[in-house]
Amino acid sequence: MTAPLLSVRNLRVEFPNRRARLVAIDDVSFEIGRGEILGLVGESGAGKSVTGAAIMGLLEPPGHMTGGEIRLDGTRIDTMPIDQLRRIRGKRIGMVFQDPLTSLNPVYRIGAQITETMRVHANISEADARARAIALLAEVGIPAPENRIDAYPHELSGGMRQRVVLALVLCTEPELIIADEPTTALDVSVQAQIIALIKALARNRGTSVMLITHDMGVIAEVADRVAVMYAGRIAEIGPVRDVLKAPQHPYARGLMGAIPSLAKKAAGHDGRLTLIPGNMPRLSAIPEGCAFNPRCGEAIDRCRAERPSLLPAATSHVACWRVTS
């Protein structure tokens, strides 16, 4: 395998407050290869979005990186001065957010927003930029792009707006797209269109995608590999089919059992969904050892004392003493 496009090593992000330093991301490492789609799943507060923000250098103060490194194509970007980082952000790494209406400027026509972005990052004429913008809008599946380019965001439907956001991200030909819940605000039939589009773009352009979502179904459709996060740590990472079909980490197993299925009526016995006892720990009270141990039915003494490392297990990497020892 060639060098990965993105490599995150031992990432640690803290949010200090008056009482304590809350560790939102604790020793997270992963890589994304060229043209690969990595899914990042987990429940609210697992640290998915913070991971994305850390890569983009967009952590909201007081949150900041307190350890680890992030490399894009071998170059460290987390320590880069802001003016250099700006040339990478938007140019080499694009970002798609959940709500397309808030990521578009409501008072500019969509064409103006796309051409402006292009001209910031590349030296091309207004006319060329416009022609390329029309081509891009066509590529993301907007009908009659030569007319729609002069529309304002409010004139478009939610699905169309998310397509415009994708065009806006693609216009600088980024190598990596970080998509944070790109389909969560959309209806299922539109979601299916956007998912298919992201998949096709990654395949045709060789763009790498980090897809952040809580929806396992979306991951199953799009991702090549998936990382399951829990309490700011990666519990399991591996090929999507193996992790979803045969999860090894007890949390990943519980999560898959908790999802009602379309294909069959009952997941557990007598039609009940399997439950993970207890709740996600607060960031201020993450348990010693494995963060999942108080909710885990299989925990042993070692789980309560020593934090499990992410170790190879079959085709995946799993952070669980019961699985890896």
What is the smallest separation between the CB atom of 140 and another protein, expressed in angstroms?
A: 15
Binding map of another protein across residues 246-285, x = CB under 8 A, - = no contact: --------xx-xxxxxxx-x-x---xxxxxx--xx-----
Which range touches another protein (CB under 8 A), out of 18-26, 49-57, 186-194, 283-291?
Answer: 186-194
Q: Which is nearer to another protein, 91 or 241 (CB)?
A: 241
Residues 6+ apart with CB under 8 A from 113: 104, 105, 168
Residue 320 three-state SS: coil
Exactly one of 244, 283, 291, 299 binds another protein (CB under 8 A); which one?
A: 244
Size of residue set near another protein by CB under 8 A: 44
Q: Which residues contact 263 (CB under 8 A, 6 or more apart)?
A: none
- Asked if 315 interacts with another protein (CB under 8 A), we say no
Residue with Cβ nearer another protein (44 or 79): 44
Amino acid at 233: R
Looking at the Cβ atoms of 129 and 198, the one nearer to another protein is 198
**CA 91 from centre of chain:** 18
Interaction with another protein in 55-114: which residues (CB under 8 A)? Answer: none
Secondary structure string (H, E, C) spanning 263-318: CCCCCCHHHCCCCCCCCCCCHHHCCCCCCCHHHCCCCCHHHHHCCCCCEEECCEEE
Q: Which of 12, 215, 302, 323 binds another protein (CB under 8 A)?
A: 215
Kindly state the tokens that stand for 186.
Answer: 């959309």
User: CB under 8 A: which stretch of 84-92, 104-112, 208-216, 285-293 binds another protein?
Assistant: 208-216
Q: Tell me the sheet residues that pair with 16.
A: 21
Kindly tell me which of 171 and 194 has the beta carbon lying closer to another protein: 194
**Binding map of another protein across residues 113-152, x = CB under 8 A, - = no contact:** ----------------------------------------
Nearer to another protein, 244 or 318 (CB): 244
Contact 289, 303 (CB under 8 A): yes
Strands 311-313 and 316-318: antiparallel
Residue 195 engages another protein in binding (rule: CB under 8 A): yes
Other beta carbons within 10 angstroms of residue 19's beta carbon come to 7
218 belongs to the binding site for another protein (CB under 8 A)? yes
Q: Residue 281: CB partners within 8 Å, gap ≥ 6?
A: 231, 287, 291, 294
Residues that bind another protein (CB under 8 A): 43-44, 157, 159-160, 187-193, 195-196, 214-218, 220-221, 240-241, 244-245, 254-255, 257-263, 265, 267, 271-276, 279-280
